[in-house]
């Protein structure tokens, strides 16, 4: 006689327990709801943490151009998220005194600008299989790319904040065959970008921008003004015989990150994230892109340096954040910033132009 054996089996034991919910502080049991805290002891050792921190900061610093000219304002911990930049009001020149007559006095006061910080960050996951079998140092590679991402984020935030400044100059429309001025635009829509006439940043445009800043009594930075310029615009400008390459004065002057040369008392910083603009407000007459080159003097804008909120590299190895089976590590960064706060509008001049690449470059 055959005996039939019945076994009660819970097939749910073999079900997929689901993925970890990123951002939680513990693992969650898919069946009972019980939580288990992440392993806080099997973390990456201090030397590796320091190494990856350094890699992130160095790679970010290489790609940062605007921030090196900002006035830094510290924000102590537990002091809120907003800071003030204060400046004394200036006085008018004195008038001629009349004997025995008390003149009308001037008021002494202070004005201020405020800025508030927000937090930014991102991360990526690296599986244990990739770490184990890849030829290259995966964590190091991801750290380098995170550094580039952090710099691009900061550069874009500063660039966009400066774009709102209303101190603007439009480059002349130049007849390319003769170099003569065809007309002077008053808006992006009247800037030419054809095969025969182009609104270009020329040496004369640079001289005009520098003159405007001098007339506005903008203080220099170590005796020079500075401009952040897109490579497409720099391509046209560097054809000038008056252009002085940076290496020709590097031995006697401080060289800033990205510095490529000097013209008419203004030194230029080449930055691929300098604004390429389009859309209704910024397209030129040919309906292609335009470019913004920022000219500025000392302390034209400020950025907040929050205590405890500076750029931070965060690497969690698979023993710490890799789920129940240690299946992945995470690499990321975060930082706090106000982007930028314009402190002196007259110290920042946005010079609009087209270039030889207006028809092919894309808005950034």
Residue 99 neighbours by CB under 8 Å, 6+ apart: none
Of the pLDDT bands very low, low, confident and very high (cuts 50, 70, 90), residue 157 is very high
Distance CA 89, CA 66 (A): 27
Helix-then-strand count for the chain, H and E: 7, 21
The pTM for the full model equals: 0.77
pLDDT of residue 14: 39
Kindly report, residue by residue over 293-345, the tens digit of the pLDDT. Answer: 999 999 999 998 888 778 888 888 787 777 778 788 888 889 999 989 999 99
260 CB contacts (<8 Å, ≥6 apart)? 234, 238, 245, 246, 268, 269, 270
Residue located via tokens 């615009």: 233
- The alpha carbon dihedral of 345, 347, 348, 353 has a sign of positive
CB atoms within 10 A of CB 111: 9
Summarised one tens digit per residue, pLDDT across range 53-76 is 666 666 666 567 898 888 888 888
Q: What is the DSSP letter of 221?
A: B
């Amino acid at each position: 006689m055959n005996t039939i054996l019945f076994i009660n089996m819970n097939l749910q034991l073999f079900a997929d327990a689901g993925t970890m919910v990123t951002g939680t502080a513990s693992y969650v049991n898919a069946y009972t709801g019980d939580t288990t805290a992440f392993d806080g002891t099997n973390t990456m050792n201090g030397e590796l943490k320091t190494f990856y921190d350094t890699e992130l900061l160095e790679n970010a610093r290489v790609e940062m151009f605007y921030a090196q000219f900002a006035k830094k304002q510290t924000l102590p911990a537990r002091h809120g998220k907003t800071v003030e930049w204060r400046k004394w009001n200036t006085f008018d020149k004195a008038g001629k005194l009349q004997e025995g007559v008390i003149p009308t006095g001037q008021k002494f006061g202070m004005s201020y600008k405020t800025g508030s910080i927000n937090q930014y960050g991102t991360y990526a996951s690296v599986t244990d299989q990739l770490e184990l079998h890849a030829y290259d140092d995966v964590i190091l590679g991801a750290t380098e790319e995170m550094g580039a991402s952090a710099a691009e984020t900061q550069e874009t935030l500063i660039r966009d904040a400066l774009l709102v400044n209303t101190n603007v100059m439009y480059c002349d429309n130049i007849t390319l065959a003769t170099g003569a001025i065809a007309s002077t635009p008053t808006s992006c829509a009247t800037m030419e970008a054809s095969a025969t006439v182009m609104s270009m940043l020329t040496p004369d445009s640079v001289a005009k921008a520098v003159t405007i800043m001098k007339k506005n009594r903008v203080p220099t930075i170590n005796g020079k003004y500075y401009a952040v310029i897109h490579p497409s615009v720099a391509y046209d400008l560097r054809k000038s015989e008056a252009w002085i390459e940076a290496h020709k004065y590097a031995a006697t002057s401080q060289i800033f990150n990205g510095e490529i040369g000097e013209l008419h008392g203004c030194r230029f910083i080449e930055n691929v994230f300098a604004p390429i603009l389009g859309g209704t407000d910024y397209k030129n007459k040919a309906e292609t892109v335009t470019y913004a080159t920022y000219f500025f003097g000392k302390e034209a804008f400020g950025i907040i340096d929050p205590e405890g909120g500076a750029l931070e590299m965060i690497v969690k190895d698979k023993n710490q954040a890799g789920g129940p089976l240690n299946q992945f590590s995470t690499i990321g960064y975060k930082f706090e910033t106000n982007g930028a706060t314009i402190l002196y509008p007259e110290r920042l001049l946005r010079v609009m132009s087209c270039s030889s690449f207006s028809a092919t470059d894309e808005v950034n």
